[in-house]
Structure 1
Amino acid sequence: MTRNPLTTLAEAAADWISRPLTPEVEHHARRAVLDWFAALLPGCVDGPALLLAPALASERGSGRAVSYVDGGLGAPRHASMLNGTASHTAEFDDIFRDGGYHPGSPTISAALAVAQDVGATQEQFLRAVIGGFEVGCRIAMALQPSHYRNWHITATVGTFGAAVSTAMLRGGKAETIAHAIAIASSFAGGHQENLQGEGVTKPMHAGHAADAGVLAGLAAAAGVTGSPNSLHAPHGYAAATSDTTGDWEKGLEGLGEWTPITKMTFKNHGCCGHIFPTLDGLRVLQAEHGFTRDDIASIHVRGYGPTKSICDRMQVNSPRDARFSLQYCAAALLTLGGVRLAAFTPEALADPGIRAFMPRVTIAEDPEIAALYPSRRQARLRVELTDGRVFDHYQQTRKGDPDDPLTDAELIEKFDELASTVLDADARAALKALVLDGGALPGVLPFDRSLPAPR
């Protein structure tokens, strides 16, 4: 390694403050923001953000940042915490596949809150989002795959993305952004047990990353400094949280030639992304052979490590459990025809047909598929029918990944479905136009500011 990765990434982010913004990159950034709102809004009416909003009311502070959970204005850290938590609740937030990372929830939550507070233009906001994605996604690539063994990478690396966006919007140049990254490296946490185990802490991982990133960015803008070797030193962040001091050749590959926001995965299913290849493969087989759930004797899935370690889950007691259970999601797909919001209602969770089908699904790790992770997310399926027929399928991609992306129409359809939990048709149309066509920053949304009772 000949370049200091921290200063190199800071310079790359700073370049986004003024470099020409091509129509392609701008369009990808607008898609990311629209998808963030799609993921955010269901979390404003159900989930831990509703518990946090009244608990943190005394910390709202003064400022112009919007908490979409309750519609109130306040300090950027307060808004980014609540919005980051809400946007990571329904499991519909974006994915940077090569880093196994959800950049939108922490980065956009922070960037929008700071942009609203400082009165930034929408272009300045979009540039800060692009820069935050650039740094966060590339750090994720350098840390993976070993980082994910014990750490929830959205909770950790999301702090860096949020810090970069904040520093950019607070007028920071490369030196200030570098200090924001360095400071963020002392705040970035969130372990796998609170991702895989019981409880509802996981959405707060994204909220905390946004909040801590804003703190790091504000501190750097105020003159606080950090070590320029914070990422790659022997006692730096990569060494502390992965097997090496970081694969920075991989992380910095193509810097200046492509930017991560153009390579995002937008979720087509409302569950853990490690389940997607199975769901997509089942849809292919159903379309080809016309079988129904009741025709199936068994399904055997072979995937990569987290397919087995995270998503082989027969104990499903809550929507959160269900979203990380391949068995449940496969049964829901075959029962309901899709794995969107309707798959995680109390009625669906209690459906005896879904529950009875789950034991028919088994999961194993496939060494060849595991070797391609995280840059490829694949699954091999064997479906045995009750009449003796057997179908094998190799699902080599996921709908929504960069090589099989959601079209603009499909992304808008997803937005309309998820946003309808909060907004009526006119409000949805207004927000879509604001995000996709330009104008002022999205502000207070036209919905009831009173907090519904948590479910």
Structure 2
Amino acid sequence: MHATEVFGAYAESFEKQTLPHEVLHHAKRAVVDWYAALYSGLSTPPLAQLSTILEEDIGRGSATLPDGRHASARTAALFNGTAAHAAEVDDSFKDAMYHPGAATIAAALAVAQARKRSGSDFLRSVILGYEISTRIGVVLGRAHYKYWHNTGTVGAFGAAAAAGLGFGLSRIQFAHALATVGTFSAGLQQAFRMDSMSKPLHAGRAAEAGVFAADMARHGTTGSLDILDGDAGFGRAMSDGPDWSGVGSTLGEIFNITRLTFKNHIGCGHAFPAIDATLALMAEHHLQASDIRTVSVATYGPALDIACYAQPRTENEARFSIPFVIATAILHGSVRQAAYSSGRLADAEMRAMMARVTAVVDPELDLAFPKQRSARVEIETMDGRRHVWLQKDRKGDPELPLSDRELEGKFRELVAPVIGNREAGDLLARIWSLDSVIAM
């Protein structure tokens, strides 16, 4: 069977599979984090522009936007998927170099609302989208990630899988949905190698493409079932011709959704191990900003490729700047929403601290990527002392996970300022009890 057919067969059996409580709980954690990302992204420029562009499409349909307005499933998936990636706080699956939640959950929710699916059905769609797309991302590997933005490319498959289950596709329809969405899959890393608003749209378009492909398959549209593993397929065109033969070997046995990373800082996740290491050194040695002469960061290659701005000029560039986030951690003790306020970038003390930060690739740490995201930070003090910290994993990785309480804290921090404390608490309670929700 082709990879799409392997996934179609699994989707057919997955509908009847009894899911472990742990898996369902991790799916709810993913939804909690997705809503935190969704609401924090609403104030970013692309969302205001997108709302204007979609004006003719909003106000009709059975899916909803965060402000309660109705929309078609495709429009809601596009809008919500974009919002959930816009503030750079969404989840990731590190082995696939991929943010699965933004597109997958946006598509699952849009179809669940449009089809009046239960909360349990919605969770099941989310899980399937994660399980299939993360495995595709793992097979594509680092060769794909060199040029492509996996959240846009791999995310389209996650969205199609989630939407396909929500639409109740048959085994062969499901395979065709994946086959069709493979031809829509896109998103170049160059889109965020200079200041740009395009990056979150990758997630939105992936969510929209997934819903569209699944709906087309529901109405009989067929695709090339060898889209992933064919001679001119996805693997050869957009990676290094990887082996797809084992792509489904652990489906139903290992659930990747239980091994997510939830961001403990705000910004590019590749910079997070360096932030963690810096904060650890500051705490362990009771350092103040005035004590620091230099900060040397050694990490893996893609961290420098993507968090590449040495002298950020805009808020968006600051999110992808190792010197900026390290200086923020030193001067302010955390890298959260306030880090990107308008005054921070122009602050003279901030600029002076950024000038003391350098970053290089460590070959050993680079070799461990993507399974491990590590950084070694050395701080030299004004009196000549040198302190070193190796951060093997990021806080929030499955090896150092956020607790439910910490995840709820992140949710409240990002959601309550937008909808209010009481409403945020009600939404959080609804997510934790999705099993009992009759219709989304």
Structure 1 residue 309 and structure 2 residue 302: aligned?
Answer: no
- State the AA in 2 paired with 1:407: S
Aligned to 1:279: 275
User: Residues 388-414 of structure 1: CA distance to partner in whole angstroms, max 9, x if unpaired?
Assistant: 000122111110011110000000000
User: Does the C-alpha gap of structure 1 residues 251 and 382 become closer, same or farther in structure 2, counting only changes over 3 Å?
Assistant: farther
Structure 1 residue 242 and structure 2 residue 239: aligned?
Answer: yes
Shift of 1:159: 0.5
Shift of 1:191: 0.5
User: Does the C-alpha gap of structure 1 residues 242 and 61 become closer, same or farther in structure 2, counting only changes over 3 Å?
Assistant: farther
**In the TM superposition, what are the counterparts of 1:213-362 in structure 2 within 5 Å?**
213-244=210-241, 246-248=242-244, 251-252=247-248, 254-362=250-358
Contact 2:193 2:308 in 1 (8 A): no
User: Does the C-alpha gap of structure 1 residues 300 and 441 become closer, same or farther in structure 2, counting only changes over 3 Å?
Assistant: farther
Structure 1 residue 209 and structure 2 residue 209: aligned?
Answer: no
Structure 1 residue 40 and structure 2 residue 31: aligned?
Answer: no
- Give the whole-Å Cα distance in 2 for the aligned partners of 1:275 and 1:247: 31
Aligned to 2:166: 169
User: Does the C-alpha gap of structure 1 residues 338 and 249 become closer, same or farther in structure 2, counting only changes over 3 Å?
Assistant: farther
- State the AA in 1 paired with 2:204: G
- Give the whole-Å Cα distance in 2 for the aligned partners of 1:442 and 1:40: 21
Contact 1:103 1:158 in 2 (8 A): yes
Question: Which residue of 5, 8, 19 maps to 1:7?
Answer: 5
Shift of 1:5: 2.1
Shift of 1:251: 4.1
Q: CA RMSD in A?
A: 1.5
SS at match of 1:248: coil
User: Does the C-alpha gap of structure 1 residues 159 and 441 become closer, same or farther in structure 2, counting only changes over 3 Å?
Assistant: farther
Aligned to 1:449: none
Contact 1:107 1:162 in 2 (8 A): yes
Shift of 1:362: 0.8
Which TM-score applies when normalising by structure 1? 0.94
SS at match of 2:355: helix
- Give the whole-Å Cα distance in 2 for the aligned partners of 1:401 and 1:249: 28
Aligned to 2:60: 62
Aligned to 1:185: 182
Contact 2:376 2:391 in 1 (8 A): yes
Aligned to 1:110: 107
Shift of 1:309: 1.4
Structure 1 residue 143 and structure 2 residue 140: aligned?
Answer: yes
SS at match of 1:159: helix
Aligned to 1:375: 371
- Give the whole-Å Cα distance in 2 for the aligned partners of 1:247 and 1:405: 31
User: Residues 289-322 of structure 1: CA distance to partner in whole angstroms, max 9, x if unpaired?
Assistant: 1112221111111111112212231231221111
Structure 2 residue ranges without an equivalent (≥5): none
- Give the whole-Å Cα distance in 1 for the aligned partners of 2:355 and 2:250: 45
Shift of 1:253: 5.0
- State the AA in 2 paired with 1:51: Q
Aligned to 1:28: 26
User: Residues 234-263 of structure 1: CA distance to partner in whole angstroms, max 9, x if unpaired?
Assistant: 10011111122x243564453221111111
- State the AA in 1 paired with 2:306: I
Shift of 1:16: 2.5
SS at match of 1:145: helix
User: Residues 86-134 of structure 1: CA distance to partner in whole angstroms, max 9, x if unpaired?
Assistant: 1101100000010010000000011101110110000000000000001
Shift of 1:354: 1.2
- State the AA in 2 paired with 1:290: H
SS at match of 2:358: strand
- Give the whole-Å Cα distance in 1 for the aligned partners of 2:41 and 2:438: 21
> Which of 26-35 and 292-301 deviates more?
292-301
Which TM-score applies when normalising by structure 2? 0.97
- State the AA in 2 paired with 1:339: V
- Give the whole-Å Cα distance in 2 for the aligned partners of 1:122 and 1:59: 26
Structure 1 residue 421 and structure 2 residue 417: aligned?
Answer: yes
Aligned to 1:200: 197
Structure 1 residue 365 and structure 2 residue 361: aligned?
Answer: yes
Aligned to 1:452: none
Contact 2:108 2:122 in 1 (8 A): yes
**In the TM superposition, what are the counterparts of 1:87-102 in structure 2 within 5 Å?**
87-102=84-99
Structure 1 residue 79 and structure 2 residue 76: aligned?
Answer: yes
User: Does the C-alpha gap of structure 1 residues 173 and 284 become closer, same or farther in structure 2, counting only changes over 3 Å?
Assistant: same
Shift of 1:352: 1.9
Structure 1 residue 133 and structure 2 residue 133: aligned?
Answer: no
Shift of 1:348: 2.1
- State the AA in 2 paired with 1:261: I
- State the AA in 1 paired with 2:87: A
SS at match of 1:422: helix
Shift of 1:336: 1.4
User: Does the C-alpha gap of structure 1 residues 251 and 272 become closer, same or farther in structure 2, counting only changes over 3 Å?
Assistant: farther
Aligned to 2:431: 435
- State the AA in 1 paired with 2:350: I
User: Residues 163-188 of structure 1: CA distance to partner in whole angstroms, max 9, x if unpaired?
Assistant: 11111111113211111110010000
- Give the whole-Å Cα distance in 2 for the aligned partners of 1:421 and 1:346: 18
- Give the whole-Å Cα distance in 2 for the aligned partners of 1:9 and 1:375: 24
User: Residues 18-38 of structure 1: CA distance to partner in whole angstroms, max 9, x if unpaired?
Assistant: 210211011000000010000
